[in-house]
Structure 1
Amino acid sequence: MAFSILTKEDLQEFKIELLEAIEKLILGNVTEQKLWLRSSEVKELLTISSGTLQTLRNNGTISFNKIGGIIYYNYKDIEKLINRR
């Protein structure tokens, strides 16, 4: 049975390689943000209820487009609202 001795330098090198690999995985999975969001996505982002979202639509706080019965929100508008909070 062969034995290998690990040094602190070996572990440090492994740590650096591991962190670089994790960083590549994370950066590789980053996708561009969708331009249009559905109501469920907006409610999750803002942590609000359906009623509150309806109120924000009614009073003009959030602009939206309705296509085929589905309401869509522009991500940039939602982002502005988040930043105002």
Structure 2
Amino acid sequence: MAIEIITKDDLEAFRQTLLNDIRALLANNKTETKEWLRCADVRKMLKVSTGTVQNLRITGKLKSQKIGGIHFYNLADIQNMLSGKLTK
């Protein structure tokens, strides 16, 4: 059985490679856009309160899909609302 000695330089090179790989993975994840958003995401986009999002949903101005007790909102609907294209 052969014994290999790992030096500090080897560990530092491994650490740098690992960090670069993690950074690349994180950079790829940031570019993905979600098609369905939760209430918190909608609030940030519209800069409104939770109650306002609820009122928009209740009045039918913003449609949602409820899955397991959580309301999800379509990104396209929100973008249309922001551009003023959404009609009731």
* TM-score for both structures, normalised by structure 1: 0.63
SS in 2 for 1:45: helix
Q: CA deviation at 1:31?
A: 1.2
Q: Match of 1:45?
A: 45
Give the Cα–Cα distance (whole angstroms) in 2 for the partners of residues 39 and 78 of structure 1: 11
Counterpart AA for 2:59: N
Q: Which runs of 5+ in 1 are unaligned?
A: 1-27
Q: Match of 2:58?
A: 58
Q: Match of 2:69?
A: 69
Q: Which runs of 5+ in 2 are unaligned?
A: 1-26
* TM-score for both structures, normalised by structure 2: 0.61
Runs of 4+ in 1 over 2 A off after TM superposition: none
- Number of equivalences: 59
Counterpart AA for 2:60: G
SS in 2 for 1:61: coil
Give the CA RMSD over aligned residues: 1.9
Query: Could you give the per-residue CA deviations for residues 8-40 of structure 1, whole angstroms, max 9, x where no partner exists?
Result: xxxxxxxxxxxxxxxxxxxx6561310000000
Query: Could you give the per-residue CA deviations for residues 36-80 of structure 1, whole angstroms, max 9, x where no partner exists?
Result: 000000001000001111110011000000000111000000010
Identity %: 43
